[in-house]
Amino acid sequence: MSKSSSEAARARALRIAIGKFSLIKAHPGRFTFLCALGVFLILLIATKSLPYALAPYDPDLALRLNSSNPAALIAKAERLRVQLWNLNQGSRATSGDADVSLDTISSLPPAQQAEIPESLERSRLRDGIRSLALRALERDPLNATAFRLLGEIADTPDRARVLMREAVRRSQRDAVAQFWLLNDSFLRNDFKSALGHAEILLQSHPKLSVYVFSYLTLLAEDPEGRRFLLPRLARAPAWRPHFFEVLPRNMQKADTPATLMLALKGTANPLTASEVAPYLDALIAKNLIDVAYNAWLQFLPPTELETVSQITHPNFEREPSGLAFDWRVHPGVNASVEFVPIERGHAMYFHLGEGRIQFPDVKQFVLFSAGSYRIEGKLKGRITGKRGLRWQMRCAHGTQRVIGETEQLVGRSEQWRNFGFSFDVPHTDECKGQMLRLYHDARSPSEEFVSGEVRFAELRLTRLDVPPSPAEATENTAPPGPGASASTVGWTSIITPMR
């Protein structure tokens, strides 16, 4: 740019500035008004809007901008509350540590315990919280958090209860106030109110359900509390499945779930299989498999109860319920299972895709008394791979010892073939119940490459050593002749090998 052009630009800018100054001189009132308006807007933002934005991060700065901003007052009070809580926790930790001492101290003569007054720091924090909360209520009478903070530092339970109720009247989503009232209602045996607070917490704060369900379990175990809980469960609220899932872990009385389940059996919304399953699984895990079996029978429909056998649905005529004493099928990877009709009856059909698979987990818990048994069935299809399928019987508890299984089922057959295996149920505690399962006998990832499809049908159970009648047992005390077992009778492969 030449010297003359730059001088021209400066001259042009100077003329514009002089023109604007001339406008200011021509309209001084308008200029003064606009300046005042700008300053007012800046102050309004700094004292009204900005403190709300600063309150969560720097309440002290927000209060310097506006000493009566309710959001900043509450944020400051919440910080003091955290300090008070830490101070109380520190006191408990110190007293707890004092209990753990050298054994020599316990032999010293006891000293008279003096009453320890509330520390000045704790009193200062409580007064600070009270002052901030009251100032917030002056500007925002509907502030639920302010009432809750006052309730937390109240001197008496009655005063705290009034303040906490005022807090939830203004906001039912205040979890601290709701939980305080839940605990307070339960301690006063006001089970109806306790249930109401529990439901609000479950709806508004589902992450707290593990704590809320502990209270509902206590309600279930109290006859008076159960009187309020059962009608609510009968209406099948959204939280009912989760409640019955955690109930076996929370219960202190072993019959609590059964009592609830039987009471709900005749209602318009009886329990589903997924709600009953956790209780049965918990009993089986404790080796109370006979109790679990009897409980399962209680929930069977009358039509199924009349046809129940030692192996449930051995002909695969019904879709599995997922309960322990029915077929329980967990999905696999690159493999599927379904119950399908066949020429005469039904079958369990497996389709195994090409490549590596994870075989579906198929099992059923059974309850056989000690003795020798044999399970037989039919199959047809093709299975191609290094390792085949096996039917297996295991003990249901402890090390889950294998007591019998088939040879590997691998190869091809277009016709129905018979298969079977024998097993002995020992008279041991870990084998009070058993587990029948079908699995792919892969020992390493490289052996999980299998393909094909296969159908299983018509499982049959036979008792090999028929127990003697009481009269026969009296006349002949000699044990019955040994039956065939998995260790003495080998299983002959019935699938034509692949060529």
pLDDT of residue 122: 85
Average pLDDT, the chain: 82
Band (pLDDT 50/70/90 cuts) for residue 5 is confident
Dist. CA 468–CA 196, nearest whole Å? 59
pLDDT of residue 303: 81
Task: Name residue, tokens 């065939």.
Answer: 484
pLDDT of residue 104: 47
pLDDT of residue 52: 67
> What one-character DSSP code corresponds to residue 272?
P
Average pLDDT over residues 258-280: 90
pLDDT exceeds 90 at position 284? yes
Higher pLDDT, 104 or 87: 87
> Over the stretch 106-149, which tens digit does the pLDDT of each residue have?
445 555 544 445 578 888 889 999 999 999 999 889 999 999 99
**Sequence-distant (≥ 6) Cβ neighbours of residue 490 within 8 angstroms:** 407
Strand partners, 422: 374
Buried/exposed code over 81-119 (b: 16+ C-beta within 10 A; e: otherwise): beebeeeeeeeeeeeeeeeeeeeeeeeeeeeeeeeeeee
**Sequence-distant (≥ 6) Cβ neighbours of residue 273 within 8 angstroms:** 321, 322, 323
pLDDT exceeds 60 at position 54? yes
Write the CA distances from 181 to 154, 164, 177, 227, 311, integer angstroms. 14, 7, 6, 20, 50
pLDDT of residue 473: 44
Q: Are 393 and 402 in contact (CB under 8 A)?
A: yes
* pTM for this entry: 0.72
Band (pLDDT 50/70/90 cuts) for residue 11 is low
E strand spans, 169-261: none
pLDDT exceeds 80 at position 31? no
Band (pLDDT 50/70/90 cuts) for residue 40 is low
Lowest-confidence range among 89-98, 234-243, 370-379? 89-98
Dist. CA 300–CA 286, nearest whole Å? 22
> Over the stretch 423-451, which tens digit does the pLDDT of each residue have?
999 999 999 999 999 999 999 988 899 99
pLDDT exceeds 60 at position 72? yes
pLDDT exceeds 70 at position 213? yes
3-state secondary structure of 236: coil
Average pLDDT over residues 463-492: 45
pLDDT of residue 89: 72
User: To 10 degrees, the CA torsion angle through 479, 482, 483, 487?
Assistant: 130
pLDDT of residue 19: 59
Give the phi and the psi of residue 139 in degrees, each rounded to 5.
-90, -25
pLDDT exceeds 80 at position 232? yes
